[in-house]
Amino acid sequence: MLPGTRNQHNGIRFCDGKAIRRYGAVGLFLLGLVFCLQAAGIAGGLSAVINRIDTDDLPRVRCYVSVTADTGESVLGLTKDRFTIREGESDVPLLECRSIARGEERTAVVLAVDHSGSMYGKPARAARAATSVFTERLTNQDLLAVLPFADTVEPGELLTDRATALRPLQTVVSGGKTALYDAVLQGIQLLEDADSDRKAVVALSDGEDTASTATPEECITAARDSGVIIYTISLGRRVNEDIQQRLAEQTGGRHFTTDAPEDLTAIYRRIASQLTTEYAVTFTTPRPEALGFHHVELTVADRGAYDSVKADYLIIGQETELSAGMDTDMMLCLGIAGGILINAVLALLVLRRRRRPWGMMP
């Protein structure tokens, strides 16, 4: 019964006008909130990640995108009409959307795992179990390296043998400080020359960095230069969330956080799904001649749920129509003629200067 009731009639209680207006307004507000959440697509979540952007066929640009549900499983069967892309302030039409099945392309992953003193016991055991589940999503052609870190980073190498790659986690003893940024940077350097279609560093830590010589900015720059995505996982509340989120978002990855070690398996499974199943979404850039970074925002929507993700791609340079239409001999002749002309002009300037009378200003 609502408060504020005053009158009784045949055992029925009535609300006064003020109570009706007050609770009626609350009801309308809640109804409107539910409607807005559904319209915004918040009911039932999606998670999208741009793994990489290919600009080898300008003006066509291809985004490789992973989409997962709240359960961590990959969302399959999406069609072109489920995606929209904006470049800068402009909506761009999509040319095609192609699903890439698991194992169709090669993935190279470095798992950087904290084994500082605070990870001793249950957190370390949960991390070992979660990384083992992660590797179940990899195929025999995928590459994996594991870099345990504390004061320093344990060396590792990219291997197709998952059991061998995971072995350092089985023998490492927790203790020491936290060199998170050093581990991330070494993981990126390990992936620079990897023969793979997608590259990622997945970094788990339960505390702030206390031992690195590398900086977050160095990690972000190296990752973007090498086409490496960084995923960060924060375990507990002693982590610098802002920095870990920046490492992930500025390289196209995602940041995950939990207080419970038992949640790590679900997080690693979700990341593995994003890395091993993806869509190739192709569009035409409206400004292929503009050198430098181009900012894109991709949105995916399905069954009332949606997610948006932002990324940058770089256009370094391309052949102009003039140079593309000339053969090598013609370009060489023009270069020689230009060099002769420049030398002639310089010689003429020197000769004129020598002929000036002493005391005259040039």
For residue 165, what pLDDT is reported? Answer: 96
In this predicted structure, the answer to whether residue 288 has a pLDDT above a threshold of 60 is yes
Name which of 94-103, 271-280, 292-301, 348-357 the model is least confident about.
348-357
Residue 278, both tokens: 């993806």
Q: Which residue has the higher pLDDT, 188 or 76?
A: 188
- Residue 104 is predicted with a pLDDT of 84
179-210, pLDDT tens digit by residue?
999 999 999 999 999 999 899 999 999 999 99
Q: Does residue 75 register a pLDDT over 80? A: yes
Cβ partners under 8 Å of residue 10, min gap 6: none
Q: Identify how many contiguous H helices and E strands the chain contains and give both numbers.
A: 9, 15
Architecture of domain 107-276: 3-Layer(aba) Sandwich (3.40)
Domain boundaries for CATH 2.60.40 within the chain: 46-101+280-315
pLDDT of the residue at 70: 82
Q: Kindly tell me if the per-residue pLDDT of 8 is higher than 90.
A: no
Give the pLDDT mean for 147-159: 96
> How far is residue 230 CA from its own chain's centroid?
6
pLDDT at 361: 45
- Location of each CATH 3.40.50.410 domain in the chain: 107-276
Residue 164 clears pLDDT 90, i.e. is over it: yes
Of 44-48, 197-201, 218-222, 321-325, the poorest mean pLDDT is in 321-325
pTM (predicted TM-score): 0.69
Residue showing tokens 């398996």: 265
Instruction: Classify 359 as helix, strand or coil.
Output: coil
269's tokens: 């499974």
Strand order of the β-sheet with 278-284 is: 46-57, 60-69, 278-284, 94-100
Report domain 46-101+280-315's class. mainly beta
Q: At residue 106, does pLDDT exceed 50?
A: yes
Does the structure show a pLDDT above 50 at 42?
A: no
What pLDDT does 178 receive? Answer: 97
